[in-house]
């Protein structure tokens, strides 16, 4: 097991340190006082850059115990960020991918985090079980959202599904959503409860063969009283969105939507 002491440092410095220490998949690194078992070195570097260094999920809360819904928790780095920012935060994390679920549970348990509930299920517009295709690294996609064709070697599993609206049973200070294509249907399913959310960051995915639905998300946010802005990560994380612009039926890209409920 390799230990790499990681304070908040530039991503390029972290990359050099991981390489120098010969950190590999399954090793444990130290991150701002947390011990984190990583699934993949390159993916860890990207998540560190976006979550901890660039603070994509940063939010301000007037009370010390914000309620956070973390939709697509992966190995738990976003949950660690929320607990680093607000140690008393009450977090519900949703993660259906059995390949990364053990990492998530281990990273929550080994750091002794309290007030964290893990829901081992996919978020969907219904509660029927579904097939999840996993890339074994950054996330899994439900069968109905995979788009054109699936590599027959892609790992797949049957997973439980839950509706996000059932967890919007009271005020939510922050909603983070990275659910690999299901975001439009899930948000539309929650429309009459979204006003309970103060702010959110949603990752919109366009996959080849799937209809473009960004306008539907922006429509429901507007109807529910949110102001919003759209961001596209950076050239390393999301090269398909960088100029010179190209768009074709095979285009694959993602966008970040930050939304804040109007006063």
Compute the chain's Rg from CA coordinates: 18
pLDDT recorded at residue 230:
97
pLDDT at site 151: 77
Residue 149 burial class via C-beta count within 10 angstroms: exposed 0-12, middle 13-18, buried 19 and up: exposed
Tell me the domain boundaries of the chain: 61-261
pLDDT 10s digits, 111-127: 999 999 999 999 999 99
Per-position b or e across 100-136, b if 16+ CB within 10 A of its CB: bbebbbbbbeebebeebebbbbbbbbeeeebbbbbee
Under the banding of pLDDT at 50, 70 and 90, the label for residue 206 is: confident
Tell me which fold the domain 61-261 belongs to. Answer: Rossmann fold (3.40.50)
Per-residue confidence (pLDDT) for residue 149, from 0 to 100: 66
Asked if the model's pLDDT at residue 196 lies above 70, the reply is: yes
Q: Is the pLDDT of residue 242 over 60?
A: yes
Q: What is residue 1's predicted lDDT score, i.e. its pLDDT?
A: 41
**Distance between CA 203 and CA 37 in Å, rounded?**
24
pTM of the full structure: 0.94
Q: What is the mean pLDDT of residues 231-241?
A: 90
Q: Residue 153's pLDDT is what?
A: 81
Of 2 and 67, the structure prediction assigns the larger pLDDT to 67
Query: For residue 163, what pLDDT is reported?
Result: 98
Q: 26's torsion region: left (phi>0), alpha (psi -120 to 50) or beta?
A: left
pLDDT over 90 percentage in the chain = 80
Residue 248 pLDDT exceeds 50:
yes
Q: pLDDT, tens digit, for every residue of 18-67?
A: 999 999 999 999 999 999 999 999 999 999 999 999 999 999 999 999 99
Mean pLDDT rounded to a whole number for the chain: 93
* Position 9 pLDDT exceeds 70: yes
**For range 187-194, the mean pLDDT:** 98
> 6 pLDDT band (50/70/90 cuts)?
low
Confidence of residue 207 (pLDDT cuts 50, 70, 90): confident
| Over residues 148-164, mean pLDDT | 87
* Residue range 85-104, pLDDT digits in tens: 999 999 999 999 998 999 99
């Amino acid at each position: 097991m390799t230990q790499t002491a990681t304070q908040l440092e530039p991503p390029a410095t972290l990359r050099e340190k991981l390489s120098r220490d010969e950190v590999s998949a399954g090793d444990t690194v130290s991150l701002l006082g947390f011990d984190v078992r990583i699934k993949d070195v390159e993916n860890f570097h990207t998540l560190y850059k976006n979550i901890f260094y660039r603070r994509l999920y940063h939010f301000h809360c007037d009370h010390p115990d914000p309620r956070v819904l973390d939709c697509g928790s992966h190995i738990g780095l976003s949950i660690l960020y929320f607990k680093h920012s607000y140690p008393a935060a009450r977090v519900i994390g949703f993660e259906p991918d059995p390949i990364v679920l053990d990492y998530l549970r281990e990273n929550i348990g080994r750091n002794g985090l309290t007030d964290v509930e893990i829901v081992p299920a996919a978020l969907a517009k219904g509660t029927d079980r579904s097939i999840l295709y996993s890339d074994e690294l950054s996330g899994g996609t439900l069968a109905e959202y995979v788009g054109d064709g699936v590599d027959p070697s892609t790992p797949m599993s049957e997973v439980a599904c839950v509706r996000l609206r059932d967890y919007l049973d009271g005020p939510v200070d922050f909603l983070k959503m990275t659910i690999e294509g299901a975001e439009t249907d899930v948000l539309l399913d929650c429309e009459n409860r979204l006003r309970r959310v103060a702010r959110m960051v949603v990752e919109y995915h366009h996959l080849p063969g799937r209809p473009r639905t960004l306008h539907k998300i922006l429509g429901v946010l507007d109807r529910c009283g949110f102001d919003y802005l759209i961001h596209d990560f950076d050239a390393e994380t999301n090269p398909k969105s960088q100029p010179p612009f190209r768009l074709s039926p095979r285009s694959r890209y993602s966008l970040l939507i930050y939304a804040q409920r109007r006063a």
